[in-house]
Amino acid sequence: MKISTTILFFVFCHFSIAQNKEEFLIRKCFENYKKAILADQGENAIKFVDKKTINYYTKMLDKIKKADSLEVNSLGIIDKIMVLSIRHQASKKEIQSMNGGGLLVYAIQKGMIGKSSVQRNRIGKVKLKGDMAKGQIVSGEQITPVYFNFNKEKGVWKIDLTSVFSLGTIGFKQVLKKSGLKENEYLIQVLEQMNGKKPSTKIWNPNL
């Protein structure tokens, strides 16, 4: 049984319209997240991040509360700076009152997720695969090889911030190498620059 070219045309048009709609919603998700970050609205920003992101911050909060110096030293550089910077800046009371989402809000409010990470960026090419997608980052007019992952949760597209952490690790290591310092020496300098205070040795201890 042959399918008429008219039917095929309408099927193709329907698929194309549906895909264009999803791509629009993915870009809109990023723009909403970007707008919230630029306005220092942490509570609003987390509405546009996915469960994987919140789970990461929940895991990091557990490390902040419980990890000893040996465990902290064994962490990757992104995780280590997260644990040490929160211990350096937040009070014990603040840490105990946080959940994963709250930790992300705090990180945004303290500039740990800086405006520079989104200010000149937009989502260009989108690759769709069911309820998952990849959005290529365009910085200014420069098309980059970097993609944000997006996940559709309960019919709504959300951004996966952890999908670019590997790039952040590469960036940190490049700057670390140029500094000529050992990793922990460099991180201590970064922490001091955050709020002008020299970090206490207590940041290496669990914050229970």
For 85, counting Cβ atoms within 10 Å of its Cβ (0-12 exposed, 13-18 middle, 19+ buried), the class is: buried
Q: Kindly report whether the global pTM for this prediction surpasses the value 0.75.
A: yes
pLDDT at 143 (0 to 100): 95
For 5, counting Cβ atoms within 10 Å of its Cβ (0-12 exposed, 13-18 middle, 19+ buried), the class is: exposed
Q: Where are the chain's structural domains?
A: 5-204
pLDDT digits (tens, 9 = 90+) for 9-59: 444 434 444 578 999 999 999 999 999 999 989 999 999 999 999 999 999
> What distance in Å separates the CA atoms of residue 19 and residue 127, rounded to the nearest whole number?
10
Question: What is the Cα Rg of the chain in Å?
Answer: 21
pLDDT band at 129 (very low <50, low <70, confident <90, very high): very high
Contact 104, 42 (CB under 8 A): yes
pLDDT digits (tens, 9 = 90+) for 147-180: 999 999 999 999 999 999 988 899 889 999 999 9
pLDDT digits (tens, 9 = 90+) for 54-81: 999 999 999 999 999 999 999 999 999 9
